[in-house]
Amino acid sequence: MNPVRRLGVGAVAVAVLGTAVPATASAAPVITMSGSTSVAPLASLLAKGYLKDRRLKGKLKFKLAQGGSDVGVADVAAGRVSIGNSSRDPKDSDSGVVFNKIAKDAICLITNPANRLPNLTQNQIKSIFSGDVRNWEDVPGSTVSGPIDLTVRTAASGTQDAFQKIFLGPTKLSPIASAKSSNGLVQQTVKGNKNAIGYVSQDFTSGVNAPAYAGVSCNLANAKSGQYGGVRSFYMVTRGAARGGTKKFISWVQGSKVAQKIIATHWVPLR
């Protein structure tokens, strides 16, 4: 290769890597987080708020990866990251990790806009989702007729775990329910099928009808006041008790007023 071409190749390589490299390359301490995609927006806002509130810009770095609650818990248990974000409760098989609750999130039941179901009691939900009640004609208040199409989440989902614990209790979910792998898929399925019923996180209720649960409608205000019963917790998981910079961050999240204000924008703060 002649020298000019070699120079050209070198320039291109430097340019490609240069656009990929952020400006700073200092040795600031890093807090790495990985885990749930539902907690990720909250974690990103909290990280930015922490750096601003404690004036640590440039002195601390946050890295936020996603991948799912299970990935987060596994990563933190193996020591691959400092904090794991989890939207599900601790399982029996999670050993050696501590689940620190940071916020709460409401789970709403949703039906198609054509089905203006106003309210569902817990017994009704149990009988619908366990498969005892199969037709919309048998559900008082529904405005459609036909077989009930159950739309749930897959087993690995924290939302599914929370739904089972909060709404169903010991009742088993019907085996013919159609399991989707994300909130978006459940929302899209329910939007497109007038016989469908499902459950999503509270931010995914646009374009669908959200019936009230036990008389309390599903919105942020009711969840914050504690009236709405269907709330699940978000956790930041650490390996053993939190230490050092991680401990300071988590206690800031759980304690400081600034953090609670950030959480209150879309989620339910702990106090």
Partner 1 sequence: MATEIRTPGTLPPLPPYVPPGGPRRPPRRRRTGESLSTWRYGDRVAFALCWACGLALCLIAAAIVVYLGVRGVQYLTFTLLTTHPEAGLDQAKTGGFLDPIVGTVLLTVIGIAIATPIAVGTAVWIVEYGRPSAFARAVESGIEIVAGTPDIVIAIFGLALFQQHLFAPLSLTADGGAVFGRSFMTAGAMMSLIALPMVFGTTREGLQAVPAHVREASYGLGKTRIATIRRVLLPSVRSNISTGMALGMGRICGDTAVVIVLLGATLRLESEGSIPGFNALKGTGSTLTSYVYNNSPAGEGNAPQKAYAAAFVLLLIVVALNLAVDVIARRGSQTGLQNGRLGA
Partner 2 sequence: MLERLRAPWSDRRAERVLGALASLVLLVIALMIVFVAVKAWPTLRNNHLIGWLGFGGDVDAQISDQVNGVGRGGDQFAINAGPLIYATVLTTAVAVVVGLAFALFSAIFIVEFAPPRLRRVIVPVVRLLAAVPSVIYGLIGILVLAPFVNDHLLPDGRKRSVEYVVQLSGTSLLVATLVLTVMITPIMIAIITDALYSVPKSWTEGAVALGVNRWRATWTVSVRAARPAIIAAAVLATARALGEGIMLSMVSGGRGFSPNPLDGLSFLFEPLRPLAATIVENVESLNAPAIRSSVYAFALLLLLSSFALSVGGYIAKQPMKKYGIRV
Considering beta carbons, is residue 75 or 94 the nearer one to partner 1? 75
Asked if 239 touches partner 1 (CB under 8 A), the answer is yes
Number of chain residues interacting with partner 1 (CB under 8 A): 42
Find which of partner 1, partner 2, none residue 202 binds, CB within 5 to 8 Å per kind.
none
Dihedral-angle region of residue 35 (phi above 0 means left; psi in -120 to 50 means alpha; beta otherwise): left
Structure tokens at 35: 């885990």
Given a contact cutoff of 8 angstroms between Cβ atoms, the answer to whether 199 and 110 are in contact is: yes
Position among 120, 125, 150, 253 found at the interface with partner 2 (CB under 8 A): 150
Q: Give the full edge-to-edge strand order of the sheet including 196-201.
A: 61-64, 30-35, 83-86, 231-239, 97-111, 196-201, 149-153, 178-180
> Could you tell me which stretch among 10-18, 113-121, 132-140, 221-229 binds partner 1 (CB under 8 A)?
10-18
Find which of partner 2, partner 1, none residue 176 binds, CB within 5 to 8 Å per kind.
partner 2
Q: Residues 52-91: x/- map of binding to partner 1 (CB under 8 A)?
A: -----------xxxxx-------xx-xxxxx---------
Backbone phi, then psi, for 167, in 5-degree steps? -95, -40
Find which of partner 2, partner 1, none residue 221 binds, CB within 5 to 8 Å per kind.
none
Cross-strand partners of 135: 147
Q: For residues 45 and 61, give the distance between their C-alpha atoms in angstroms, rounded to a whole number.
A: 14
Q: Residues 154-173: x/- map of binding to partner 2 (CB under 8 A)?
A: xxx-----------------
Asked if 17 touches partner 1 (CB under 8 A), the answer is yes
Asked if 79 touches partner 2 (CB under 8 A), the answer is no
Query: CA torsion angle for 66, 71, 74, 78 (degrees, to 10)?
Result: -50
Given a contact cutoff of 8 angstroms between Cβ atoms, the answer to whether 45 and 230 are in contact is: no
244-255 vs 40-53: helix crossing angle, rounded to 10: 100
Considering beta carbons, is residue 53 or 89 the nearer one to partner 2? 89
Which residues are CB-neighbours of 206 under 8 A, at least 6 positions away? none
Point out which residues bind partner 2 (CB under 8 A): 67-68, 70-71, 73-74, 77-78, 91-93, 134-135, 146-150, 154-156, 175-181, 188-189, 192-193, 195
Point out which residues bind partner 1 (CB under 8 A): 14, 16-22, 25-27, 32, 34, 37-38, 40-41, 43-44, 63-67, 75-76, 78-82, 181-185, 187-188, 203-204, 239, 266
